[in-house]
Structure 1
């Protein structure tokens, strides 16, 4: 999988408690016309813009994790627009790929996008995630999850 450093949410980020991704993706200020509306951002121009969320270090202790995609107009108040669902610790091994939406930001007016890692159970002492916008997700891994 090819990641762009500019479009990374997490770069081998240690997740030891509920946490937002290290980086927040800025879609740009409103008022830039795309597709006829001065308020529309129409990110991707009708193309699917996939997000890859990959476990790079096996997690311990926790019961499960849910990865959320959040959007915000101001970078302060966040709304969850997608959830991966609870993934049990037994699956959170290096190489596991979370299910994520195939489209990002199409026709939305929120300026910012982040990921939020929601832990259930005991806080892990090991476990890392690399996540970002990619050209396409790798789906040929035995541990990966294709959608």
Structure 2
């Protein structure tokens, strides 16, 4: 798979407490009268992958959410996809978090990921995420 610096949301970002992706993708302005939804049509590959094992003193879990907003500060984000809570035992290097494509409803100017830690904090763990040219599939 090929990652691009301009479409990278998190680059081996350490997640120990609830946080948002280091980077935001600007999908560009929308002309008056037009509607955007980059989740429609040809699937756009999205990779969310654990790059360092997660650890916590307790039974730590992590939930991933893809958010959009027309405000770069994400004053009122809309969540277009949320994962189930994933336990620290499953958050091992190479673990790919589904969805593999940007979902429908991704229709505002800015896009980011939100990471919610529960029963934490985590004491270790990193994630790399972003839009790719295509995701590797061994299945």
- TM class by shorter-chain length? 0.7 to 0.9
**Residue by residue, what CA displacement relative to the aligned partner does 1:33-81 show, whole Å, maximum 9, x if unpaired?**
xxxxx42234377210121001000000052111000010113211111
Q: Where does residue 135 of structure 2 map in the other structure?
A: 137
Segments of 5+ residues of structure 1 without an aligned counterpart are 33-37, 142-147
TM-score, length of structure 1 as denominator length: 0.82
Q: Where does residue 125 of structure 1 map in the other structure?
A: 123
Could you say which structure has the greater relative contact order, defined with CA pairs below 8 angstroms and 6 or more residues apart?
Answer: 2
2:84 aligned with 1:85, yes or no? yes
> What's the offset of the Cα at 1:105?
5.9
Superposition map of 1:1-147 within 5 A = 1-31=1-31, 38-43=33-38, 46-61=41-56, 63-75=60-72, 76-100=75-99, 102-104=101-103, 108=107, 110-140=108-138
User: How many Å separate the matches in 1 of 2:39 and 2:118?
Assistant: 33
* Between structures 1 and 2, the one with greater strand share: 2
The alignment of Structure 1 onto Structure 2 pairs a total of residues equal to 135
Segments of 5+ residues of structure 2 without an aligned counterpart are none
Q: CA RMSD in A?
A: 2.0
User: How many Å separate the matches in 2 of 1:123 and 1:10?
Assistant: 19
